[in-house]
Structure 1
Amino acid sequence: MDDIDLAEPHLLSWLATVGLDAHYVRAEGDHLYRLDDEGREIPVVDFAGGYGSLMLGHNHPDILACAREMLDHQAPVHAQFSRHPYAKRLAAELNAIVRRETESDEMYSVIFANSGAEAVEVAVKHAELDRVMKVAELRQEIAANIDAARAAVAAGEVSVSGEAAIAAGLDTTDFASLAARISEVNEARATTPPLLFALEGGFHGKLMGSVQLTHNAAYRNPFAALGTSVRFVAPVDISALPKIFDEERVDLLDLAVTGSEITVVCRPLPLFCAFVLEPVQGEGGIRALDARSAEQIQAACARVDCPVVVDEVQSGMGRTGTFLASSAVGLRGDYYALSKSLGGGLAKTAVMLARSSRYRPEFELVHSSTFAKDIFSTTIALKVLELLEADGGVAYARAAERGAYILDMLRSVQRDFPDVVADVRGRGLMLGLEFHDQSASAIPAVRRHAEGGTFGYAVAGTLLERHRVRTFPTASAPNTLRFEPSIHIGDAEVAQLEAGLRDVCAGLRAQDAAALVDHTPDQEGNQAT
């Protein structure tokens, strides 16, 4: 049995074909270490950064010390259904930072989770509870209005406006018939499924619910029947959001007493569950939302009372130079999802913040998570916030400065290889370099990877094997390499990345058969080189 690999062996086999099946034995700062054939440590510069989870690097000494202290004192990790003063402190600290950045006086209630995908699902789940309760409240209000109108008719004070009834598609002036028809119409319309909106290119997880919000069809389509349908909005269509919302609008019918007449009025059904977006799309190719688009989304959603869920799982925690990437473009969320670097590279934790004016306390009785809100992860998260906020938030300034330094380097590579590098983009320490399509390459291995959607992985494998640099492409845009190191990344490590990128670009330009390290078997079963 020891020779049988049951731990996702198919994925491991695939990683081997692109040279990414490394075994790391130690991690520190911005380096991972693997062993050579003689057992010596080989350092690898980590620009993947745990997909954005390592804002402070691997095994930060202050975070390790915090973890050791809790373990040495046998802190009660599992103490559900009890007081959680550490969670209370974390919620307060998060509120202070978010309110400062968003310049808001409103508080945010906090629900704890274990991962980014879970935090996104918690936000949407809460938004749906809020929507369902608003539907119930609206129906109760309509029922009360119908009862009041019925009493006014019985007292001979009013009569039904035939014109209004006909305009509403209800050709009757008999009150009993009118009330029955309204109830019938409302019963059918009130059960209209909720509508969720998300941006094209977005990635919000691969769980049963969150995958429905992820634009990549390869991840989403196999499970489409399991979830609520999502309407994806292209960036170029953001200005048309008011029209899109109007097209989707559903009205309930109500009665109003106006003078001596009863008129039929339309009341918009709370239909729009949420608009979910990333201020900087990670897996979608490192694409940042601009301030104008943020303003248009905010205004359109406010007009129809559609809450905005800001997914800061990868972009938040200071990675882009501000605690929230969304604050830099003026976007204000009704909900925020935070994770990844919140755990300091050590704890698996996440939070969902809900604007107090939307928060439903009932949610706490219908949602829970076994491993959430524990003393270990919340105390680690408090230490992370302490480190980020220290010395007036120098960590945020460091992220902006280091990001600008790396961006300048990437742009210099693009300038020297415009025929190979299509674009360089991003913000702070969330950067991407996009290669031109290589499907017409004269190099068989390059062409095969380009046509199969694995080109970026093959480049990453080459950087790892030849230059000891670790990075990955973005999942939904595999021609784009991502760079998300910690704030402590040094000039020497950036130079190491630059040397690797220039080597790959030179090989691709020269149509050199050895441009990429390739381990994919050819048609005869031999390993390509």
Structure 2
Amino acid sequence: MNRQPVERALFDDVMVPNYAPGAVIPVRGEGSRVWDQQGREFVDLAGGIAVTSLGHAHPGLVSALTEQAGKLWHLSNVLTNEPALRLARTLCELTFAERVFFANSGAEANEAAFKLARRYAWEHYGPEKNEIIAFRNSFHGRTLFTVSVGGQPKYLEGFEPAPGGIHHADFNDLASVEALVSDKTCAIVVEPIQGEGGIMPGDPEFLKGLRALCSKHNALLVFDEVQSGVGRTGHLYAYQMYGVTPDVLSTAKSLGGGFPVGAMLTTAKIAASLGVGTHGSTYGGNPLACAVAQKVIDTVSQPDILKGVKARAERLREGMMAIGKRYGVFSEVRGHGLLLGCVLTEAWAGRAKDFLAAGIDEGVMVLVAGANVVRLAPSLIIPEHDIDEALLRFERAVAKVCS
């Protein structure tokens, strides 16, 4: 076994340089606290980018994983397995869905959703009905198809030619969608809360308008709930908060609580278009992933947990707004539940990463959502005293940046 020291410099020697990780290397986590190689403690408001929905090393998730690890790790989809079937049944019981496809990530769940939308239209209306409408500043993953549907050209640069038939409208602007939609439209794809685009909530009437346009033009409404789903807003899925039911929904991130898993949810009629052999995933529906996700869903779907998300969110929102007011750094704190975006004032525009870096120095982990938004996506069960401690540390970080 190689016992040589593992330091940040090793990344530059052995890893593809598509990431630029910070100097800290965490080695242990418990709840909403993380410790690095030197034993320094951090309060985690980042949640692994909205992933560690029940914090680090949650006893229930550890138990579910180790119990399944002693039974069965992998089969492929030549055979099914009990954890996958149980999880699919649970997701159908708790949502609009009647059928589930499992994958390993949000990008894969979205890839399946977009392929399904085109295949469904091809089967029912013919090959001319293949156009997808998505939104500027959206994010749907890093595969060539999903990055093309995503509305941020910087992620597509150098990877063209992109798949065709994809158009982009302005988020929360129904008129811009009406100008693009036609009987050639097979799907409208939207994040109910734009994540990477700056934690921008969809207006209720806008999302209802998308539902009406899809129904009028026989197009599928696809909700990308990779970031907003699994309790993040205080509802199991954000569509339930908005009262707008999609035809297809993608979910990942918080679904596995840190274990890689994704899923596409839809109705039986629509799912029928993905017949045997039309799509697949070697690891999709992996027993380990599904056993962990089952425990996550069973826990997060409890009414007291969802109610607790809203209370914690209000505490965190109020704390960040107070810091923003004292130092003049935030114009607003937007979002729903524990998916919050602290929008920088004009005086601090473009400096979100400075606050992230200063936070690390002061022992608190946050995220950014673009250059102008500090993003918060902590554990859904983060203790109140951890929220308070994180706010104290982040205020020190803000003071440091502002000094």
SS in 2 for 1:244: coil
User: What SS does the aligned partner of 2:186 have?
Assistant: strand
1:342 aligned partner, one-letter code: L
2:83 pairs, out of 82, 86, 97, with 86
Q: Which blocks of at least 5 consecutive residues in structure 1 are unaligned? A: 100-106, 137-189, 250-267, 440-449, 513-529
Q: Distance in 1 between matches of 2:151 and 2:76?
A: 38
| Residue aligning to 2:235 | 322
Among 370, 391, 397, the residue aligned to 2:307: 397
Task: Point out where structure 2 has 5 or more consecutive residues left out of the alignment.
Answer: 5-9
Amino acid in the other structure paired with 1:86: P
Equivalent residue for 2:275? Answer: 363
Partner residue, 2:153: 217
Is 1:458 aligned to 2:354, yes or no? yes
Query: Is the Cα contact below 8 Å between 1:197 and 1:230 reproduced in 2?
Result: yes
SS of 2:271's partner is coil
Secondary structure (helix, strand or coil) at the match of 1:492 reads helix
Amino acid across the alignment from 2:307: A
Specify the alignment match of 1:162 in structure 2: none
Post-superposition offset of 1:240: 4.9
Partner of 1:414: 324
Amino acid at match of 2:48: G
In the other structure, the counterpart of 1:295 is 208
1:172-211, Cα deviation, whole Å (9 max, x unpaired)? xxxxxxxxxxxxxxxxxx6x57211112221111111110
What percentage of residue pairs aligned between the two structures are identical?
A: 26
Contact 1:129 1:363 in 2 (8 A): no
> Match of 1:398, as an amino acid?
G
In 1, the alpha carbon distance for the partners of 2:290 and 2:273 equals 21
Distance 1:8 1:502 in 2: 35
Q: In the superposition, relative to structure 1, how do residues 236 and 382 fare at CA in structure 2: closer, same or farther (>3 Å)?
A: closer
Larger radius of gyration: 1
Q: What SS does the corresponding residue of 2:332 show, helix, strand or coil?
A: strand
**Residue pairs, 1:95-494, within 5 angstroms:** 95-99=92-96, 107-136=97-126, 192=128, 194-245=130-181, 249=182, 271-345=184-258, 347-390=259-302, 393-418=303-328, 420-438=329-347, 455-465=351-361, 467-474=362-369, 477-494=370-387
**2-side partners of 1:213 and 1:44: how far apart?**
36
Tell me by how many angstroms 1:403 deviates: 0.7
Deviations 1:462-491 (A, max 9, x none): 1111x20011211xx222111111122223
CA contact (8 A) 1:239 1:296 kept: no
**Selected match of 2:48 from 50, 56, 63:** 50
Residue 11 (1) aligns with residue 1 (2): no
1:384 maps to a residue whose letter is: V
C-alpha contact (below 8 Å) 1:212/1:229 kept by paired residues:
no
Segment drifting more, 1-10 vs 290-299: 1-10
Query: What SS class does the counterpart of residue 316 from structure 1 fall into?
Result: coil
Alpha-carbon separation, structure 2, partners of 1:413 and 1:343: 32
The one-letter amino acid of 1:493's match is: D
Amino acid at match of 1:358: I
The Cα shift of 1:10 comes to 6.4
Q: In 2, distance between residues paired with 1:229 and 1:220?
A: 15
Distance 1:208 1:243, change over 3 A: closer
Which is helix-richer, 1 or 2? 1
CA contact (8 A) 2:358 2:400 kept: no
Alignment-derived partner of residue 36 in structure 2: 34
| Match of residue 7 from structure 2 | none
Distance 1:296 1:232 in 2: 16
CA–CA distance in structure 2, aligned partners of residues 367 and 98 of structure 1: 23
**What is the rounded CA distance, in whole Å, between the counterparts of 1:508 and 1:28 in structure 2?**
29
1:62-105 deviation digits (Å, cap 9, x = unpaired): 110111112233x1422431132322221111011114xxxxxx
- Residue 306 of structure 1 aligns with an amino acid whose one-letter code is A
Q: TM-score, normalised by structure 2?
A: 0.91
Contact preservation (8 Å) 2:119, 2:273? no
RMSD of Structure 2 on Structure 1 (CA):
2.2
For 1:127 and 1:215, the matched residues in 2 are separated by 18
How big is the shift at 1:438? 4.5
Deviations 1:321-350 (A, max 9, x none): 0001121111211001011111122x2111
| 1:103-142, Cα deviation, whole Å (9 max, x unpaired) | xxxx521111110011011001011111111234xxxxxx
